Structure 1
Amino acid sequence: MKTFIDLFISFFKIGVFGYGGGYAMLPLIEREVVINNPWLTSSQFLDIIGISQMTPGPISINTATFVGYQIGGFFGSVAATVGVVSFSFMLVSIATHYILKFKNSKVLKNALMGMRPALIGLIISAFISLAGKSYLDFKSIIIGVIILGVSLKSKLHPILVIVLSGVLGTVFYGIL
C-alpha cells in the first residue's frame, strides 16, 4: 500500500511542477523515479520513454502509467496516472472560468507569451538530459542525425519515424 501512495505522491508532485506538458516533465519524472526514488535505472527509464512515445496519448501520462506498472503492477499504474493528472484536472477546472473571463487581458496574453520560451527551454533540457544516455556510440549518433533530417524535411507521422528508427537500429546493430 505504501508503494501506491508513494507513486501517487511522486507523480502528483510531477503534475504540480510540470508546467509545459509531457516533454517538459521528463526531467522531473527522471529525477523522481531514477534519482530520488531509485525505482528504475536510467536504461529502464529510457526504454519506458520510448514505449511512451509509441503509444497513443500524452507522454507524461503514458510514462506515469508505465512506470507505475513497472513498480506496482496494475494498481501502481493507476496510482501514478491518477497522481500525474490530478493537479492538472483541478487547475484546469478552476482556471477555465478565469481564462474565459480575462481572455482579452493584455496581462494574460503577455504572461502566456513569456511562458513559451520557457517551455522550449524545458524541452531542450529534457533533450540534453536524455541525449547523453541515448547517444552511446557513432551508430546511435548516425541514427539520430538521420531521424532528425527525416523529421525536419518530411511530414512523416511520428509512428512511422519511430518504426524507421527501429529499422535503422536493426540494420546498424545487426539482427539479433
Structure 2
Amino acid sequence: MDGMKKCWKLFWVFAQIGITTFGGGYAMLSILQREVVEKRHWATEEELMDDYAIGQCTPGVIAINTATFIGYKLYGITGGIIATLGVIFPSLLIITSIAAFLLNFADLAIVKHAFDGIRACVTVLIFDAVIKLGKKALIDKTSWLLFFIVLVLSLLTSIPTVMLIVLSGIAGCLFSSKSASIKTRSKEQDPQDHAENYAKEDESWKH
C-alpha cells in the first residue's frame, strides 16, 4: 500500500510538471528544480544537472528522458515508467483537446499575442533555472573556463549539443586528472621541502 502511494505521488508530481511546462525541455528545467529538488528533495541540484545532461545526450525528448532517469533512480524500473507516463499523459490529453482549436484559430491576433506572452514567461523560467543551477555547477576556475568555451562554441559554431556535452565531459576528466596529479606531486615534495628547511634552520642555529 505504501508503495502504491509513492508511485501515485511520483505520477502526480510529474503530471503537474508535464501539464505546466510550456516551451519544451529547457523550460521544464526550472519546474524540475523547484518540484524535485526544493520541495521533494528527491535529488540534489548536482544530480538534477547530471540527469538533464544525460537526457540531452540520449535519443528522444529531453523532458521525457530526464523524467525517466529521475523516476528510475527513485524506484527502479517501475519508477522510471511511472514518471515517464506522468510527464506524457497530461500533455497528450491537452494537445489532443486543443489541436482542433489551434488549427481553426491559430491565425487570430489574440491567440498569437497569448503565445507571445507564454514565450516571454518561458524565457524567464529558463533564465531563473540557469542562475540557480549555475551557482552549483560553476564552482571553480575550471568550470568557469569550460562554461565560456562552450558558450562561445554554441553561439559561433554549429556543433551539435550532444557533441558539446561529450567534449565537456572529456575536458572535465582531463582537467580533474591533471589537478589530481599536481596535488600528488605537491604532497610528495612537501616532506622533502620540510626536511631541507629543517636542515637549514639546524645549520643556522649551530653557527
Question: How does 1:17-32 map onto structure 2 within 5 Å?
Answer: 17-32=20-35
What's the CA shift for 1:151?
0.8
Question: Helix, strand or coil: the match of 2:43?
Answer: coil
- Distance in 2 between the 1:15 and 1:83 partners? 7
Aligned 8 A contact 1:23 1:126 in 2: no
Question: How does 1:90-169 map onto structure 2 within 5 Å?
Answer: 90-169=93-172
What percentage of aligned pairs have identical amino acids? 38
Gaps of 5+ in 1: none
Q: Which amino acid aligns with 2:75?
A: G
Q: Which amino acid aligns with 1:126?
A: A
Q: Which amino acid aligns with 1:159?
A: V
Q: Say what the alpha-carbon RMSD is for the aligned residues.
A: 1.5
What's the CA shift for 1:46?
2.0
- Distance in 2 between the 1:10 and 1:38 partners? 12
Alignment-derived partner of residue 193 in structure 2: none
Aligned residue among 60, 83, 88 for 2:86: 83
Question: Which structure has more RCO (C-alpha within 8 Å, separation ≥ 6)?
Answer: 1
Aligned 8 A contact 2:67 2:84 in 1: yes
Deviations 1:63-85 (A, max 9, x none): 11000000111110111111111
Provide TM-score, normalisation by structure 2.
0.80
Aligned 8 A contact 1:4 1:76 in 2: yes
Larger radius of gyration between Structure 1 and Structure 2: 2
Alignment-derived partner of residue 173 in structure 1: 176
Count of residues paired in the alignment:
176
What's the CA shift for 1:31?
1.9
Gaps of 5+ in 2: 181-207
Question: Helix, strand or coil: the match of 2:60?
Answer: coil
